[in-house]
Amino acid sequence: MSSERTDVAALLENVAVQLSGCQRVLVAYSGGLDSSVLLHMLYQLMQQRSDIVVRAAYVHHGLSPHAERWAQHCMHTCQQWDIPCTVLPVTVDARERGVEAAAREARYQVLRQHLLPEEVLLTAQHLDDQSETFLLALKRGSGPAGLSAMGATGQLGANRLLRPLLDVARAQLENYAHHYRLTWVDDESNGDARYDRNFLRLQVLPQLKQRWPSFPEAVARSARLCAEQEQLLDELLAVSLQSACDAKGALAIDALLPLSEPHRFALLRRWLRGHEVAMPSREQLLHLWQDVALSRQDAEPLLQLGSVQIRRFRQRLYCIAECVNAVDLVLPWHPEQGVLTLPHRLGYLSLAEQSMRVRRPHPDEQVSVRFGLKGKLHIVGRSGGRSAKKLWQEYAIPPWMREQIPILYYNEYPIAAVGVFVMREGEAHDDSAAWQVAWSMV
């Protein structure tokens, strides 16, 4: 057997070993060299294993005039290999973080939405990509978490993420592609050194590898060592972080006050990562602590980190999705006909056992769901009336949540703040004439 054939067989065997426990996989397929090799390896693996189910997804960023042609190439190749392929269009908003970061965020977001339960996402990053990622983190002044670069395994939401080519040099992938006479597309933007990653790929790494041929392998070792340090910190801090958080994931400020700044920031980073927030800079952590956690007691501080907000309420930090204004919405609902999906990712309403009890509406009452409460209210279990603001405070509802909680209406009268309290007008006196209404976010 020739040396080239031996190398190709070894590459395929290495990927097969990494995927030995996977039965359903989704390949992020751009049509480029790297993902073409990975998809072909899966095609080869399908011939050996009858239990593996492979899908492909092409993310259509719309950034290149050739993107539509690349999508057609991907569909055609997958058709030849009998692999289902889906084109996933995305909109890239580069106003805040630049084109590269925005495209990456959009790509992973749409792939996460497209993944099926128990499906594993495969991406084609390789050894040279790892060097680029490490150097970019170094340029940003990242600590061990950033310098860990990319892991061979990870999570994307509830699904596993694997990078089975992470220890493979690009030159090896080129040999594989030529051996099997694969065809792929070339993104013209890869030659534009104005982008940081391309600058490293085109102008910096070639010189480093010429001087030190084993530079990519050394970088990979450093990344793994940083990842090990981060894993150790994760294990050491897990108990204290868990004890500082309540059931909803809010973080107690008082638990952080006696800690040293490095210890405090290490906990904050892990808390943010648990909420899937991109790793903040040290300046952002300082801002979070000084201007949010330690702001005056009557303030309502806010820190925007990407698409999420960090807020404070009653000496706890909350990480929430950006709030939307829903106070003008009126949503008709027929509970016995099914679940009501609320807009703006505000969850679902349904009838469910062991939930809030309200009386059934009279025949002449129309049921609707609205948001926001004002005025004086009389609720079940209270002798007098209370203002809506006072009630929210009594029930410890943070200010930003008060217009996100669904309010059940019969005609023009509020009946219940679902999951919080029931107005006297909605009290159920007879179990046989009651609804049990539940609000869930999943």
Letter for the amino acid at 57? A
Tell me the two tokens of residue 144: 């061990």
User: Is position 222 annotated in a ligand binding site?
Assistant: no
User: Is position 35 annotated in a ligand binding site?
Assistant: yes
In 3D space, the residue among 163, 170, 167 whose CA is nearest the CA of residue 205 turns out to be 170
Question: For the stretch 189-211, what's the b/e string if a residue is b when 16 or more beta carbons lie within 10 angstroms of its beta carbon?
Answer: eeeeeebbebbbbeeebeebeee
User: Is position 285 annotated in a ligand binding site?
Assistant: no
User: Is position 383 annotated in a ligand binding site?
Assistant: no
DSSP codes joined into one string, 101-138: HHHHHHHHHHHHHHPPTT-EEE----HHHHHHHHHHHH
- Cα distances (Å, whole numbers) of residue 402 to 222, 253, 378, 438: 48, 22, 17, 17
Tell me the two tokens of residue 221: 């070792």
Q: CA 405 to CA 327: how far, in whole Å?
A: 10
Which residues, at least 6 apart from 390, have a Cβ–Cβ distance to it below 8 Å?
Answer: none
In 3D space, the residue among 422, 423, 418 whose CA is nearest the CA of residue 440 turns out to be 418
**Continuous segment of H or E residues that includes residue 302:** strand 302-305
- Cα distances (Å, whole numbers) of residue 305 to 103, 276, 321: 17, 11, 10
In 3D space, the residue among 59, 103, 66 whose CA is nearest the CA of residue 187 turns out to be 66
Tell me the two tokens of residue 99: 């084109």
User: Is position 146 annotated in a ligand binding site?
Assistant: no
Contact 36, 177 (CB under 8 A): yes
Letter for the amino acid at 78? C
The label of the residue with tokens 């009946």 reads 415
User: Is position 33 annotated in a ligand binding site?
Assistant: yes
CA 43 to chain centre: 29
Q: CA 149 to CA 129: how far, in whole Å?
A: 10
Could you give phi then psi for residue 409, rounded to 5 degrees?
-115, 140
Numbered residues of the known binding site for ATP? 30-35
Numbered residues of the known binding site? 30-35
